[in-house]
Every structure is written in structure tokens, then in C-alpha cells.
Amino acid sequence: MVDMSKRIVIATDSFKGSLTAREACEALREGILASEKECDVMVVPLADGGEGTAEIISQACGGRCIEVEVSDPLGRPIAARYHIIEGTTAVMDVASAAGLTLLLPDERNPLITSSRGVGEMMIDALDRGCRHLIVGVGGSATNDCAVGMLAALGYRFVDNSERKVEPCGGNLRNIERIDDHLADSRLSECRITLAVDVRAQFCGAEGAATLFAPQKGATPTMVARLDEGMAHFAEVVERHCGVDVTHLEGAGAAGGIAGTLVALLGATVRSGAEVVMECVGFDGVLAGCDLVVTGEGRIDRQTLLGKVPFEVLRRAKQYGIPTVAVGGSVEMCEELAESGFAHIIASTPCDMPLDVAITPAIARENLRSAGMKIV
């Protein structure tokens, strides 16, 4: 039994499609306290650059929410939210305007989806006087290397006949030149920080299309076309500004958005989990802690590429605090087994169908049960 002096910190990401980070944390907390009421349990919702990042940063820093109509990944109007902190800093998620959760399963197609709505959010922030943009770059439905976003900001992309190319992932291989003469001049006054959730390369075997396009609806043939297009677009970018995005760490985040914005807009790439943890003062939260519980919807090899559970583990290790990871589902691999988690738990029973498991009420109860097992 855990005695009343034991202090537990619960710090999870959202369980995508089921629970927000706070809802997931609270479900685990209920389970722990149901098993041992005398524990001191603190809840710290986190994010890593995907959906929910902007809201968590805003809540920690006293920001205000802005709602604006933008284009969704298929060009339909949608109300997206971002946040403004201290008047001049805008915090936004790519997922708010170009997120995978905005599409039905049969609508997912990274050949045609666009990040245009993110550029429209950026314009609204510029109009309101913001000159520091923090962009959570994760959870996208796109693989367009930010060409949709940049088109909203005034960029044009043309083929070898100087004809305009419609900005989307499937057309990357047709782009031969970047025209920035009509780009929003206010971009030169901006500092852009990209909070990325993965350290994927721009293209190739460890690139954005290969690793992440399948979950965005791409077939193997589509993945090959997207990767070919990204490799070609990387050459176009290098001709335009002299930056080789294929060697930039994290350039593949959100279907190449990160690499392109670094090259063309001088953006800075940072770990999304680190950015959020700094804002919430996570190291201070760990002081005097006896156990850390973290988690996300699926724990697998990609968890170790900069996701919330891995960053929580890394920081807890520095203080000698054991860390338990909880995933809605878990796909064990050698790297996970050797990563240093004290224990890794799958909250979903092995015989429960996915469509049942992701129902919010069921997901909450499964996490509650996992919390009881932890203690």
C-alpha cells in the first residue's frame, strides 16, 4: 500500500479522438485515488505540438482565445481557435485548421488536403498585431510541405511553364519555382517558433510521407508519390533560398511544414513537449515527487521520437523518479523495453474493439481502471 506521504504527478498528452489531456489525467487520478485515497496526486495536462498545445500554453500564460473562420484541410469553412498572450504573441495549432480529426476516415487523402487554413490563422494574428508566432506542428491531415499555408500568405508556386500549381501534396512534384514577390511583408517582422511533436526527416525512409502519410489515408502508391514530391520540392527550396531541408532535424513534422517554414520564413524548430513543459514549469512540479504517470493514445516506437511520454521520462530520470506510461494501446518493441519506463500499461482490454475503446466514456473508464492498477 502507498502511504499518505507519497506524491504522484500525472502528466499525459491527449488520447486523440477520445479524451483531452486534462480528461485523461483526471481519469487516471480517479483510479489512483479509488485505490489509495491518501496519495497526494497532482494533475499536469501536457501536449507535444499536436492538438491542445496552444490551449495548454495559453492557460499557463494567461492568454485569451480568438476564434476565426478559416479553410479546413479540404477547403471548407471552419471555425478555428488560437490564442494571444500579452498582446503580441499568438499561439496556434496546425491541427486546429489542418488536423486529421477534422476529417472523416473516408475523407483522408494527403494528395489533396491543404494547410491553407493555418496560413489564414496566421494572417488574422498578424492583423491583430502579433509578431511572435508559436505554432504547434502536429496532428495534421496534410503532407503538402506548407505550400497551402504559404499560398494563403501570398506565395505562388509555378511549374516549368510559369503556370500556377495548385498547392497540395499531390502537386509537389510539379512545382519548379517559388514566387515570393507578393508574400505578406509583415512576415519579415515575425519570429516564428515551431513546436514539433516528432524528429522525422523531410523525405526518404525516415521521412514524413513514409512514416506518417499512411495514417493520413495514403496507400503505398500514394506514399511513394508524396515522398518523390517532397524530395523534388526540397531541391526547389534549396534553389530558392540555399537551405537544404533534407538535413534539418524535425523538418518532416506535419508533412514537411516544419522544414519549409525554417527555410523560407526563418522559423526555429523546438520540441513541442519541451516548449509546453517550460510554460507549465514542469521541472518545479517534479520537486519532491515519488512517481510520475504519463501517457498518450498509442505508445509505440514513435513515442520515443519526442512525444510527451518520452520527454516526461527523460526529465523524471534526471531526478531519479520512476515513470509509468499508460497508452490506450501499446505496441512493444525493443527500444521501448530498453527506454527506462518502470512499467508500460495498455488501458484498453485486448478483446475490446477499437471503435468501442475510443468512445470517450469507455476510454475514461479504461484509464480509471489503469490508474487503480498503477497503485
Domain residue ranges of the chain, discontinuous segments joined by +: 7-45+281-374, 53-273
Ranges under pLDDT 70 in the chain = 1-5
Q: What does the pLDDT read at residue 305? A: 77
Q: What residues form DSSP beta bridges with 295?
A: 12, 326
Q: Tell me the backbone φ, ψ of residue 207, rounded to 5 degrees.
A: -95, 175
Q: By C-alpha distance, which of 278, 271, 302 is closest to 136?
A: 271
Which single residue is written with the C-alpha cell 494547410?
115
CB-based contact 179:149 (threshold 8 Å) = no
CB-based contact 208:277 (threshold 8 Å) = no
Q: What gap in Å lies between CA 238 and CA 240, rounded to an integer? A: 5
Q: By C-alpha distance, which of 131, 148, 147, 135 is closest to 186?
A: 131
CB-based contact 90:312 (threshold 8 Å) = no
Q: What gap in Å lies between CA 312 and CA 321, rounded to an integer? A: 10
User: In CATH, what is the architecture of 53-273?
Assistant: Alpha-Beta Complex (3.90)
Q: Which residues contact 152 (CB under 8 A, 6 or more apart)?
A: 71, 116, 117, 118, 119, 120, 122, 123
The DSSP secondary-structure symbol of 51 reads T
Q: What does the pLDDT read at residue 8? A: 95
270 SS3 class: strand
Q: Does domain 7-45+281-374 have CATH number 3.40.50.10350?
A: yes
Q: What residues form DSSP beta bridges with 133?
A: 90, 192
Q: What does the pLDDT read at residue 5? A: 65
C-alpha cell at 166: 495548385
Which single residue is written with the C-alpha cell 511544414?
257
Q: What residues form DSSP beta bridges with 41?
A: 8
Q: What does the pLDDT read at residue 2? A: 45
